[in-house]
Structure 1
Amino acid sequence: MPPSSKKQPLGPIGLIIFAVISLAVGAYYRLPSLGDRPMHTDEAILAMKSAEYQATGHFQYDPKDFHGPGLHYITRVWGWLAGWGDSSTWTEAQLRMVPVMCGLGLILATLLLRHALGRAAAGYAMLLMSISPMMVYYSRYFIMEVPLVLLITLSIAALWHYSQGSGRWWLVLAGVCLGLQHATKETFVLNVAAALAGFAATKLLVGDFAPRRSGFDSGPGKRRALRPWLWVIIPAVLTSVALYSGGFKDWVAVKDSALTYLNYLKRAEGSGHEKPWYYYLTLIFWRKDGLVWSEAMIGGLGIVGMLYAFLGNHSKQPARQAFLVFLSVYTLALFAIYSFLAYKTPWSILSAQHALTLLAGVGAAAISSALSGSFSRVVFRIAFGLGLYNLVAQTNLAIHLYAADSRNPYVYSHTSSNLLRLLPVIRELQKTAPDGAFDVLVVNRDAGWPLPWYLRDIKSVHYTNAVPDKIDARVIIAEPEMKTALEAKFDGTPYTTLDLYGLRPGVMLNLWVEQTLWERNTLRKQQQKEAPAP
């Protein structure tokens, strides 16, 4: 009897192979050369706050301009496990290992949704996640986004497992992750709103995820419905309060973590980051700035996944359809919310892009299972392989050649690589100056960030956004527009003016060095050059 030509579903071993390959590929693109790209201003500020928290044990929450302590707690734990040592010795590569590990954890977290998505869909999603240019780029970025997406995914997976009859500790896990989300980035409320929209749409269009057979089935209807949510809400509140209060000590920070949403209402209007409503769609489907950037393969397969959620045959697996409908509405709601807001930065959409990638896995699996002939399967595999190659090519460009180039759509108001030319000059001058006679003045509208991170070991650095009344620093770093005002304050002290250095797009810096220090430095380098080799 000839073997059946019917395509067999992906088994547990096949899924493990997918996971191992995805982790290996994900690590290959996330780990190398983490310290090469200059620190973005946001990275540098967060790095300084993490170092301060490590050194003092206290996190000072600023509800106006910064986020909660979640990333800094995660960094402290990872730094302890990795044996980083004193925070003054931390490097950019070490700090970026935190989002790298969260990015790899995000790939693995897909396994928790293998029954909700289907094994093949989970496998495809992990593979796409491992090479997605956007996901890889921000997994190498010391900001909150990737840790936040990981926490969101864990909370959704935990609630799914509980809905399928698992124990109440999944609810506790969901609550802890929810509290960590609030402590990591306040915008998690947008994800909660999108999730509630997805849950309501699922109940209306499909029904319940699955009838429960254990846990909280006894008691009156309303009480039975509300009691499980207490196992989510209470751990969420306790976790958030514990982190913001530094172990139930700083209650002002807890209050501010709620009042901060008044500031977010103002920031949502744009605050200098206004973009058109379709900005995020261009990041996914098509963006051209010298080069064409596109994750249209993920976007297209994600749309197929949504169509499959609503129109596919799920008669044997109604719970899976419920989850896929939830995920589809959640994804659409997230895109709609973020597109409606005037304030837009490219990393803000990462949680929606991740959800779309999960749906892309569903779309790829649906197409693959629908193909019955050998030829059509070969064509699909070739097309899928070419799509993977295109993503890989863009990822290579994004993390290497265009890692800090404004033509890269994931690069946003980024520090210029040219700034790294300035740092060796400062270090040379520091070596030349007599002991205790080296001081630096930085005059810049944004306090020179990320220079405070790079010069953090120099105690005599003063940062200001306006030209001071008196200038006595031996080294001055300032914008060229301030040249006239600065030099009027030199009071006869001779300075040598050096080349321009780029800080970020449209912002340049001049370097002034006190003449005697510059001459000493020139002489020292000349002597080193003429010294006989050992």
Structure 2
Amino acid sequence: MLSLKNNKSTYIFFALILVMAFVLRIVGLSQRPMHGDEAINAFKLAELIETGIFKYDPQEYHGPVLYFFSLPLTYILQIKTLQNLNEFVLRLLPLLFGMGLFGILFFIRKSISNKWLIYSSIFLVLSPAFVFYSRYFIHEMLFVFFTYAVIITVYNLLKKPTYFSSSLFGVSLGLWMATKETWIIVFAAMLFSTAVLSLNKLFRHRIFENLKKLKKEFCLVAILLYVFTITATFSSFFQHMQGVKDFFTSFAFYFNKASTTQQHIYPVYEYLSWLLNPFGKGLIGESIILVLAIAGGILLFQDKTRSLFISFIALFSVSTFAFYSVIPYKTPWNILTAWFGFIIMAGYGFTTISELIIDNKKRYFFYVLSLAFALHLFYYSYLINHLDFDSPNNPYTFSQPQLAVLEIETQFESMAANLENRYDHYIEVISPANDYWPLPWYLRNFKRIAWRDKVDFLSESADIAIINIDLESDYIKKLYEYPPPGKRDLFIPLFSNEISIRPGLKMNAYIKKSLWDSMQQEPIRDINGKIN
């Protein structure tokens, strides 16, 4: 199907694939409302920008790599405050690391064929999960990248030990562990895969021979750079040494959360359901990747000339998928590490099957069928990322705020433009368990906001209030039953209907009528403060 007899044609095809991947990932990058996790990460990044220090919290928010790697972008764009940040800038970093996965594929091209490289790259381009989370300001795309960077660098270190290869391994290992605590699960999958492959005499022989060639000084360099990377990142480059201690205590918090939390608990098959049965309507989702990956794995282990490195990738991917699946706590982005390996094996499956089919008619039928599946993946990716990006039925949204949340931002910015003190009015946001994210992101320009988890009957009434509908009756009591006669301000609804922030979270907003009336007397201005 593809003429890839020389490297030049391979490079041309690969360059075209990169362009397509970049376009699919960057178009409409800002259109999806900020997820609560993205908003929290934005505030953590802003804290680092404004104070120069990142303080690692072992109980929440994951490691520092996402924030430190965002700094060059914010520096180039001269972003110095939270208010200057925007969705496009934040999501650009995971997009770049998502593109970096093509670099991982290109780097291992010597262990695979040119066709294998191209077909795996095509699957990576079209994978709805990878497109979606390459446009998501969370740690996962960086985590996937550094996971495979660790695998590649340790392979290169064993194959050809040098100071350079040992340095790359030490730094990659440190950055991987400083990205997200789930490295523990993935590391267990690595050890398990190595143990299984060790049953193969050839694998054991090569490992032992390579270990014999590994000089102590190379190991020392790797260890020193690993320790330096961990220490530098978690201590915010030696400004907050407590972070290094917290790195070690985070393991206990993480395992406790995974074993005791009642949130995000799903059955063992849920990852397959998200990938293969999107929207719960019997659609095939990314099934073609799974089918070809299984076929590729079977064909790979029947090939006696197979690369042991690729054999490890195959076993590691299956092990990681299995380990994540048996843990009750699940989020859809966690499976990306395994799914990238499945994409590599799907490329092998497609390549091998196409070469095994000798009859031209059957081969053309296979290509036509494959094209149909590719078009399906493209359509599904477009549906997930550009049409239903905020739908609660989208398997990858996961408590995604809906477009209605933007109405709050628009309304409040419009009010600020038409009020004398603009962003200096007192606002209350009240929701049980502090469940109001991502509102802090959309109201980040306002200076005086009280964030509460319940109605404070003793505090003064705010000029504007955003209330979870479950607490609305309590807030009405505060406004009209607690103040003495003559001191009760009249409040009016700010929106005609309650606002659905995300599935399960609905809120109403109220404003003092006196403030609303004063706003009506001012010339009408747009959100930039210009008179219309």
TM-score by length of 1: 0.90
Go from structure 1 to structure 2 and tell me whether the alpha carbon gap of 1:423 and 1:305 turns closer, same or farther (over 3 Å shift): same
Corresponding residue of 1:134: 129
Report the Cα distance in structure 1 between the residues aligned to 2:269 and 2:503, rounded to whole angstroms.
Answer: 23
Q: Aligned letter for 2:363? A: R
Give 1:7 shift.
10
- Alignment-derived partner of residue 238 in structure 2: 248
The CA deviation at 1:471 is: 3.3
1:257 to 202, 226, 247: 247
2:293 corresponds to? 302
Deviation at 1:292, TM superposition (A): 2.6
Q: Which stretch has the larger CA shift, 305-314 or 104-113?
A: 305-314
1:154 aligns with 2:149: yes
Q: Which amino acid aligns with 2:450?
A: H
What is the number of equivalent residue pairs in this alignment? 515
- Large movers: runs of 4+ above 6 Å: 6-9, 212-216, 525-528
Structure 1: gaps spanning 5 or more residues: 1-5, 219-223
1:80 matched to 2:75? The reply is: yes
- Distance in 2, matches of 1:167 and 1:184, equals 26
Q: Which residue of 2 aligns with 1:22?
A: 17
2:416 to 414, 420, 430: 430
Cα drift, residue 290 of structure 1: 5.0
Q: Does 1:70 align with 2:65?
A: yes
**Does the alignment pair 1:504 with 2:510?**
no
Aligned to 1:188: 183
Q: Is the 8 A contact 1:7 1:372 kept in 2?
A: no
1:335-354 counterparts in 2 under 5 A? Answer: 335-354=321-340
- The answer (yes or no) to whether the contact 1:7–1:369 under 8 Å persists in 2 is no
| Cα displacement (A) at 1:391 | 0.5
Q: Alpha carbons of 1:206 and 1:516: their partners in 2 closer, same or farther (altered >3 Å)?
A: farther
Q: Give the secondary structure class of the aligned counterpart of 1:417.
A: coil
Q: Say yes or no: does 1:277 pair with 2:268.
A: yes
Rounded to whole Å, the distance in 2 between the matches of 1:275 and 1:408 is 16
Cα contact 2:417–2:525 (8 A) shared by 1: no
Question: Which amino acid counterpart does residue 266 of structure 1 have in structure 2?
Answer: N
Q: Distance in 2 between matches of 1:56 and 1:16?
A: 44
Q: Does residue 478 of structure 2 align to residue 489 of structure 1?
A: yes
Per the alignment, residue 221 of structure 1 pairs with none
Answer yes or no: is the 8 Å Cα contact 1:164–1:210 preserved in 2.
no
Please report the RMSD computed on the Cα atoms of aligned residues, expressed in angstroms. 2.6
Is contact 1:432–1:524 with CA below 8 Å preserved after alignment? yes
Q: 1:188 to 1:486 in 2, by over 3 A?
A: same
Q: Which amino acid counterpart does residue 331 of structure 1 have in structure 2?
A: S
TM superposition score normalised by structure 2: 0.91
**Inter-CA distance 212–307: structure 2 relative to 1 (3 Å threshold):** closer
Query: In structure 1, which of residues 407, 429, 439 is the aligned counterpart of residue 426 of structure 2?
Result: 439
Displacement of 1:279: 0.4
Mean Cα deviation higher: 141-150 or 245-254:
245-254
User: What one-letter code is carried by the residue in structure 2 that aligns with 1:517?
Assistant: L
Instruction: Report which stretch shifted further, 180-189 or 77-86.
Output: 77-86
Of residues 379, 384, 392 in structure 2, which corresponds to 1:393? 379
Inter-partner Cα distance in structure 1 for 2:363 and 2:84: 53
Alignment of 1:403-414 (within 5 A): 403-414=389-400
Pick one of 467, 472, 477 that aligns with 2:466. 477
SS at match of 1:63: coil
Instruction: Return 5+ residue gaps in structure 2 as ranges.
Output: none
Name the SS of the counterpart of 1:208 in structure 2.
Answer: helix
Aligned-pair identity (%):
27
**Partners of 2:207 and 2:401 in 1: CA distance:** 53
Measure, in 1, the Cα distance between the counterparts of 2:201 and 2:492. Answer: 73
Give the C-alpha shift of residue 88 in structure 1: 2.7
Please name the residue that 2:448 is paired with. 460
CA–CA distance in structure 2, aligned partners of residues 354 and 525 of structure 1: 55
Aligned partner letter, 2:520: T
Structure 1 residues 42-97: Cα deviation after superposition (integer angstroms, max 9, x where no partner): 00000111111011100021111211111000101233345545553111111111
